[in-house]
């Protein structure tokens, strides 16, 4: 299973430094929803860490609920990111 990251440049850079490779940088809500749906369609996607600056539109939310097997972790602050990653992965990724 893959771990993906979706958000703006500032959100994604820490995950890249931590060694995650499926990094997806977006600049606006429309681009965010297009990329999110694309990532959710990937059957190998197990965990998606997404930036809370963006809103998931109704169509993408419906697709996620009905068709996707991925887990979405919706984050906004580095302390929350550290906690959620540790909870989800069982290891401390960012120090």
pLDDT digit string, tens, across residues 22-52: 999 999 999 999 999 999 999 999 999 998 8
Alpha-helical regions (H) of the chain? 9-17, 29-41, 58-67, 78-89
* Domain edges within the chain: 2-89
CATH superfamily assigned to domain 2-89: ATPase, V1 complex, subunit F (3.40.50.10580)
Rounded Cα gap, residues 50 and 61, in angstroms: 13
Query: Quick one: residue 90, left, alpha or beta (phi over 0 = left, psi -120 to 50 = alpha)?
Result: left
pLDDT digit string, tens, across residues 56-86: 999 999 989 888 889 998 877 666 667 777 7
Tokens at 90, concatenated: 């069982």
Is this prediction's pTM over 0.85?
Answer: no
């Amino acid at each position: 299973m893959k771990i993906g990251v979706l958000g703006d440049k500032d959100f994604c850079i820490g995950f890249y430094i931590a060694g995650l490779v499926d990094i997806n940088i977006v600049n606006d809500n429309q681009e965010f929803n297009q990329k999110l749906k694309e990532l959710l369609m990937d059957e190998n996607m197990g965990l998606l860490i997404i930036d809370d600056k963006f809103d998931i539109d109704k169509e993408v939310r419906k697709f996620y609920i009905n068709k996707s097997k991925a887990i979405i972790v919706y984050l906004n602050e580095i302390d929350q990111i550290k906690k959620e990653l540790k909870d989800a992965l069982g290891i401390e990724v960012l120090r």
